[in-house]
Amino acid sequence: MNPAVTNIAIMLIGMQVAKKLDFEDPNVLFYTRAFYIACQVSTFLIYLFIRLQVDKKNDLTTIKYVEPANPMAGTEARAVVTTVKEYDMQQINSLIKGIFTGLAMMGFMHLYMGYTNPLVMQSVSSLKSALESNMAKIHLYGTPATGDLKRPFKSAPGLMEMLTGAAGGVQTDKASVESAEVSGAGGIKQD
């Protein structure tokens, strides 16, 4: 099933559930908070398990690709040489950082601004995202890393790419990698 469709379904169901809950009742509020925290902890544990799997596989196959230029940050396209293990660890660390960013945002919205409805919707969506991530598909479900799961992962086009029609994203073809290696600080291994 398409993840975008299920995200919309979760949001609609979450909104209906949140309408029915009486957040003035301290017990309802406590259990809603507990459910949210349990989902975040479960998501974190899934990512830690995937991280252990990546470490256990220790795949040292070399990957070469070109990171796209980011005009907003003032960076140029550059060649990256890394291993599958390092790339996967970088992806997992990014996903884990996303959990804490979401917790901070939700903490601000709930504790400071007093919103309770997002607790219901964000509880399940973070867990769903973890189970549908490329890392989970490869390391939890054992799906071969081919097609959309081939490293480096293709990202959805950003707003600027959609507006300008520019082909952004990671490039893995040999000509692009060689061009980036020659033009700049190419071939620098990421630490």
What are the tens digits of pLDDT across the range 140-168? 999 998 988 888 888 765 555 555 555 55
The answer to whether the beta carbons of residues 135 and 141 sit under 8 Å apart is: no
What residue type is assigned to position 172 of the chain? T
Query: What is the rounded distance in angstroms from the CA atom of residue 168 to the CA atom of residue 176?
Result: 12
DSSP lists the bridge partners of residue 66 as 79, 171
Query: What is the rounded distance in angstroms from the CA atom of residue 128 to the CA atom of residue 151?
Result: 22
What residue type is assigned to position 20 of the chain? K
Pick 79 or 160 by higher pLDDT.
79
The answer to whether the beta carbons of residues 92 and 135 sit under 8 Å apart is: yes
Statement: residue 89 has pLDDT above 90 = yes
Residue 97: pLDDT band (50, 70, 90) is very high
pLDDT digits (tens, 9 = 90+) for 39-49: 999 999 999 99
pLDDT digits (tens, 9 = 90+) for 16-62: 888 888 888 999 899 999 999 999 999 999 999 999 999 999 999 99
